[in-house]
């Protein structure tokens, strides 16, 4: 039996609301769906967390807590674009106003991947594999907030949240369905294309400025499709991409095993992802290696901004120290809260940070790119107003993530920020799942 540990997580800058989520002590059989388990936690977390602002937006008459309805893709059946279970993909759309009527920000939802028929079959019974389970309305916050005090540069833009229901970062191809003889739909690429067609038809085609963003697996999808996004928009439009917690390392675990590379290999083979990856990369190396962001960003022509913690708790749990390597729970308390990590564990985590920075060296030299690489124990940071832009948000050089992204997008200044090592930054939001407050 899988052991479960309850976490009570305090959320909100000054609020007292708590969310009970579950940490699973993964065994070997459970590793295959580890990403799905985390994805569901992340998804549930996002439903509860919203901006702590209750003041009306003086420009639009709305607040961060406005609910934005779910929209099913109208052209999905015609395009053969289906979620894992065959349901219709969906998105949420909020119209821009004022100076933002011809400006667009898109955000791709995160939620891990499925790498086996079993894990994809499980996933199709969740909102991450079927629109039948998606809530009919969601609250926008962070980069999708319409409150200028929480989102100073993008608050009045047209805003789209793209729901994630394919399990392959919108990169699967239907040819793999017959090869694997399943009742699953691997249509990620077709979903992406149908989504772009629909958004173009409702105003994206006349965009003057556009930012494609995404969190976690959605951040990886952002990188995969960044140049495609640039290609469907007007030539004179300013178009850039933002990946939040989507820079997954091709790093061996503490036992020297290529755990994440093996996992990605299974995802790519199962869902036929190779057809959506950079062709010059796939021609030179095994396709699953081209699923790693380090290989994607060096081949991307559109300007990219990376937001990522070097102490990314998802990567530490699933790449660096996956469950089967911790049978005695020697890492368990450390993974619940970085404050519980011993000196030797901190040294291992600092080594992971060093590998992260090494993987960024080539990107760091690229013209037009931007970075906000902090040393916080967290994962995504752009979809919450608390971490995106608030009085208590993480900062580097006294800049919030929102301010840094805005400076980069509008070319107000070069923005390539790399934090000092943990625990030097007192502004960090470090996730704590032991029952203590977020610190």
pTM over 0.85: yes
pLDDT at 13: 31
Q: Give the mean pLDDT of the chain.
A: 87
pLDDT at 181: 62
Percentage with pLDDT > 70 across the chain: 83
More confident residue, 434 or 390: 390
Q: How far apart are CA 299 and CA 283, in angstroms?
A: 13
pLDDT at 177: 85
The pair of three-digit structure tokens given for residue 439, joined into one six-digit string = 């610190």
Pairing assessment for the beta strands 103-108 and 90-94 based on DSSP bridges: unpaired
Does pLDDT of 138 surpass 50? yes
Taking alpha carbons only, the member of 132, 53, 66, 57 closest to residue 94 is 66
State the DSSP H helix or E strand holding residue 28, giving kind and residue range, or none if neither: helix 28-31
- Is the peptide bond between 423 and the residue preceding it cis, with omega within 30 degrees of 0? yes
pLDDT at 130: 98
Active site residue 216: yes
Does pLDDT of 48 surpass 50? no
Dihedral angle sign, alpha carbons of residues 270, 222, 293, 322: negative
Does pLDDT of 262 surpass 80? yes
Quickly state the pLDDT bin for 57 (edges 50, 70, 90). very low
Does pLDDT of 15 surpass 90? no
**What pLDDT digit, counting tens, does each position of 169-214 carry?**
999 999 888 765 668 999 999 999 999 999 999 999 999 999 999 9
**Taking residues 80-109, what's their average pLDDT?**
98
Pairing assessment for the beta strands 90-94 and 137-139 based on DSSP bridges: unpaired
Active site residue 419: no
Q: How far apart are CA 151 and CA 96, in angstroms?
A: 13
Are 335 and 316 contacting, i.e. CB atoms less than 8 angstroms apart?
Answer: yes
**Which candidate in 312, 318, 337, 385 is catalytic?**
312
Of 30-44, 64-78, 102-116, 273-287, which gets the smallest average pLDDT?
A: 30-44
Q: How far apart are CA 384 and CA 12, in angstroms?
A: 9
Quickly state the pLDDT bin for 65 (edges 50, 70, 90). low
**Which candidate in 150, 173, 379, 389 is catalytic?**
379
**What pLDDT digit, counting tens, does each position of 310-354 carry?**
999 999 999 999 988 888 889 999 999 999 999 999 999 999 999
pLDDT at 179: 65
**Taking residues 109-136, what's their average pLDDT?**
97
**What pLDDT digit, counting tens, does each position of 346-405 carry?**
999 999 999 999 999 999 999 999 999 999 999 999 999 999 999 999 999 999 999 999
Burial category of 13 from C-beta neighbours within 10 Å (exposed 0-12, middle 13-18, buried 19 and up): middle
Does pLDDT of 55 surpass 70? no
Tell me the C-alpha to C-alpha distance, in Å, between residue 216 and each of 38, 82, 402, 430: 11, 21, 18, 17
Active site residue 312: yes
Taking alpha carbons only, the member of 248, 182, 177 closest to residue 219 is 248
pLDDT at 9: 35
**Which candidate in 51, 131, 216, 288 is catalytic?**
216
Q: How far apart are CA 50 and CA 65, in angstroms?
A: 7
**Taking residues 269-276, what's their average pLDDT?**
97
**Taking residues 102-112, what's their average pLDDT?**
98
**Taking residues 122-149, what's their average pLDDT?**
97
**What pLDDT digit, counting tens, does each position of 208-245 carry?**
999 999 999 999 999 999 999 999 999 999 999 999 99
Q: How many residues does the chain have?
A: 439
pLDDT at 171: 98
């Amino acid at each position: 039996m899988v052991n479960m540990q309850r976490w009570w997580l305090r959320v909100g800058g000054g609020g007292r609301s708590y969310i009970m989520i579950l940490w699973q002590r993964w065994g070997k059989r459970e590793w295959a769906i580890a990403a799905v388990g985390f994805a569901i936690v992340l998804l549930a977390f996002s439903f509860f967390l919203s901006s702590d602002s209750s003041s009306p937006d003086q420009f639009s008459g709305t607040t961060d807590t406005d609910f934005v309805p779910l929209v099913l893709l109208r052209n999905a059946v015609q395009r053969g674009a289906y979620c894992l279970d065959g349901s219709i993909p969906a998105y949420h759309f909020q119209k821009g106003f004022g100076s933002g009527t011809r400006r667009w920000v898109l955000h791709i939802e995160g939620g891990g991947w499925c790498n086996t028929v079993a894990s994809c079959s499980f996933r199709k019974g969740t909102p991450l594999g079927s629109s039948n389970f998606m809530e009919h309305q969601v609250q926008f916050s962070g980069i999708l907030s319409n409150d200028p005090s929480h989102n100073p540069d993008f608050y009045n833009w047209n805003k789209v949240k793209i729901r994630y229901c394919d399990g392959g970062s919108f990169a699967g191809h239907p040819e793999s369905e017959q090869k694997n003889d399943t009742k699953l739909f691997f249509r990620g690429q077709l979903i992406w294309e149908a989504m772009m067609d629909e958004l173009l038809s409702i105003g994206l085609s006349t965009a003057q400025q556009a930012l494609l963003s995404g969190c976690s697996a959605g951040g990886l999808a952002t990188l995969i499709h960044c140049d495609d996004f640039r290609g469907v928009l007007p030539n004179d439009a300013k178009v850039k991409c933002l990946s939040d917690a989507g820079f997954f390392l091709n790093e061996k675990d503490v036992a020297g095993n290529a755990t994440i590379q093996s996992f990605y290999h299974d995802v790519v083979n199962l869902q036929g992802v190779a057809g959506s990856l950079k062709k010059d990369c796939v021609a030179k190396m095994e396709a699953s290696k081209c699923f790693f962001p380090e290989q994607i960003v060096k081949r991307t022509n559109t300007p990219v901004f990376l937001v990522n913690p070097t102490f990314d708790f998802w990567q530490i749990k699933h790449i660096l120290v996956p469950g089967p390597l911790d049978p005695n729970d020697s890492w368990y308390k450390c993974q619940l809260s970085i404050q519980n990590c011993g000196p030797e564990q901190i040294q291992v985590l600092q080594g992971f940070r060093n590998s992260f920075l090494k993987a960024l060296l080539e990107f760091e030299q690229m013209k037009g790119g931007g970075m906000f690489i902090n040393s916080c124990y967290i994962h995504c940071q752009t979809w919450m107003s608390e971490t995106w832009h608030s009085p208590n948000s993480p900062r580097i050089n006294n800049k919030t993530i929102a301010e840094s992204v805005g400076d980069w997008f509008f070319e107000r200044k070069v923005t390539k920020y790399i934090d000092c090592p943990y625990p030097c930054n007192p502004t960090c939001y470090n996730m704590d799942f032991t029952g203590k407050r977020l610190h």
